[in-house]
């Protein structure tokens, strides 16, 4: 017996590392020391910071991986992995500094794994952070051949006296929504159940009335949008940001209040945007109750900015210049969440 007959191919692992080397090195920042292959990644803090505060976050891609692996979309879930971590840590106003990944698989497929890491590198490049290192674990007998799971870890940095923590939010502030690219990486246990119930395939159209329209699976697997460069652009433009929220699992009802202090609540105008067709398809084909839809999906809102009313035009201008669709979603009102914070489609779900 040897390691290969036990299910672990060391030579394939080495070939995989060589394949991803150029993608990883393309994300290098000036603060990074050393190269790929060490026991630990080394990174200095950016020069010139007075009181640097590190902000760390970790996340995965969830059961979106099941759908992605079934349809060979390995590169895109790499981007998803970075986005789910980066979009969290930037809510403090921090700049992403470096990223680490962990890939666990039953049997290493160098091609598929390389596509994943290349997607991770692309997400890091878009976010301005270094892919500092990672680990690929081949675990035969634990994962089925061809299956893999992902975990990501991001560290960002912000000046301690410049961090955004919601304490400045006050009644009268406005909420600006920044559009999502689709479902992102949340709610896929429900999504997959709906797809199975409806017998959806790679050829199923999102809109049957348009023969050349977007395919459903393709729309569902669109990578999560990254908002790191947008936040940095808003800060460079001196837009006063009082709070920010990444709209992930739990939707607006769970995530928007996370950036609000006690004594205020959000009042959202559900008519301020047109819900993307993808969410209509999921609701209709899954017969999903309205309340469950709000509590599961982002419904087209990927990120929220809370800021003074007079700063809304500047914030929208920056969003649009950075290629993001954005609009005024609602306002901040005094008092804790209650009936005054509800609206008709969300009866019984206060903010």
Q: Dump the DSSP string for 189-229.
A: HHHHHHHHHHT--TT-BS-TT-TTS-BHHHHHTPPPPP-HH
| CA–CA dist 304, 275 (Å, integer) | 16
| CA–CA dist 243, 90 (Å, integer) | 11
pLDDT class of 7 with cuts at 50, 70, 90:
low
The percent of residues in the chain predicted with pLDDT above 90, rounded, is 72
Tokens of 150: 């992902």
Q: Are 316 and 272 in contact (CB under 8 A)?
A: no
Instruction: Look at strands 130-138 and 95-105 and give their pairing.
Output: parallel
Model pLDDT, residue 9: 67
- Tally of CB atoms within 10 A around 264: 24
pLDDT class of 209 with cuts at 50, 70, 90:
low
- Predicted confidence (pLDDT) at residue 285 exceeds the cutoff of 90: yes
DSSP assigned state of 94: P
* Whole-prediction pTM: 0.90
List, in order, residues 6 or more apart from 234 with CB less than 8 Å away: 241, 305, 315, 318, 319
Instruction: Look at strands 130-138 and 174-179 and give their pairing.
Output: unpaired
**Quick one: average pLDDT of 147-168?**
96
- Predicted confidence (pLDDT) at residue 38 exceeds the cutoff of 80: no
What separation in angstroms does the CA of 225 have from each of 193, 288, 307?
Answer: 24, 25, 22
Tokens of 104: 């666990």
**Quick one: average pLDDT of 328-335?**
95
Of residues 228, 185, 265, the one with CA closest to residue 91: 228
Residues making up the chain, counted from first to last: 351
| CA–CA dist 257, 295 (Å, integer) | 13
- Predicted confidence (pLDDT) at residue 220 exceeds the cutoff of 50: yes
- Predicted confidence (pLDDT) at residue 165 exceeds the cutoff of 60: yes
Model pLDDT, residue 226: 98
Domains of the chain: 10-160 (3.30.1330.10), 174-346 (3.90.650.10)
Out of 51-60, 82-91, 109-118, 336-345, least confident range: 336-345
Model pLDDT, residue 346: 41
| Sign of the C-alpha dihedral computed for residues 145, 14, 101 and 300 taken in this order | negative
If one compares 27 and 14, the residue with the highest pLDDT of the two is 27
Model pLDDT, residue 237: 97
- Predicted confidence (pLDDT) at residue 244 exceeds the cutoff of 50: yes
């Amino acid at each position: 017996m040897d390691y290969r007959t036990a299910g672990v191919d060391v030579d394939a692992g080495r070939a995989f590392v060589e394949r991803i080397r150029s993608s990883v090195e393309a994300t290098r920042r000036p603060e990074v020391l050393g190269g790929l292959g060490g026991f630990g990644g080394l990174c200095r803090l950016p020069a010139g910071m007075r009181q640097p505060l590190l902000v760390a976050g970790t996340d995965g891609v969830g059961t979106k991986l099941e759908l992605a692996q079934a349809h060979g979309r390995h590169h895109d879930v790499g981007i998803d992995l970075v986005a789910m971590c980066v979009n969290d840590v930037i809510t403090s106003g921090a700049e992403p500094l470096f990223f680490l990944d962990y890939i666990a698989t039953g049997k290493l497929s160098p091609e598929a794994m390389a596509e994943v890491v290349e997607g991770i590198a692309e997400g890091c490049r878009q976010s301005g952070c270094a892919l500092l290192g990672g680990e690929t674990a081949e675990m035969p007998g634990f994962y089925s051949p061809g299956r893999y799971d992902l975990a990501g870890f991001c560290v960002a940095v912000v000046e301690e006296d410049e961090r955004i923590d919601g304490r400045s939010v006050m009644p009268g502030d406005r909420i600006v929504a920044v559009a999502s690219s689709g479902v992102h990486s949340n709610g896929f246990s429900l999504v997959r159940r709906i797809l199975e119930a409806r017998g959806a395939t790679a050829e199923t159209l999102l809109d049957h009335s348009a023969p050349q329209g977007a395919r459903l699976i393709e729309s569902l697997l669109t990578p999560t949008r990254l908002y790191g460069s947008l936040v940095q652009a808003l800060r460079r433009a001196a837009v006063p940001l009082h709070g920010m929220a990444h709209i992930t699992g739990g939707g607006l009802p769970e995530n928007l209040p996370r950036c609000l202090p006690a004594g205020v609540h959000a009042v959202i105008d559900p008519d301020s945007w047109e819900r993307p067709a993808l969410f209509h398809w999921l609701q209709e084909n899954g017969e999903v109750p309205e309340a469950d839809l709000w509590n599961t999906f982002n419904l087209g809102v990927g990120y929220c900015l809370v800021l003074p009313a007079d700063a809304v035009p500047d914030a929208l201008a920056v969003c649009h210049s950075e290629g993001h669709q954005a609009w005024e979603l609602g306002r901040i009102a005094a008092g804790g969440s209650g009936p005054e914070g509800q609206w008709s489609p969300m009866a019984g779900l206060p903010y």
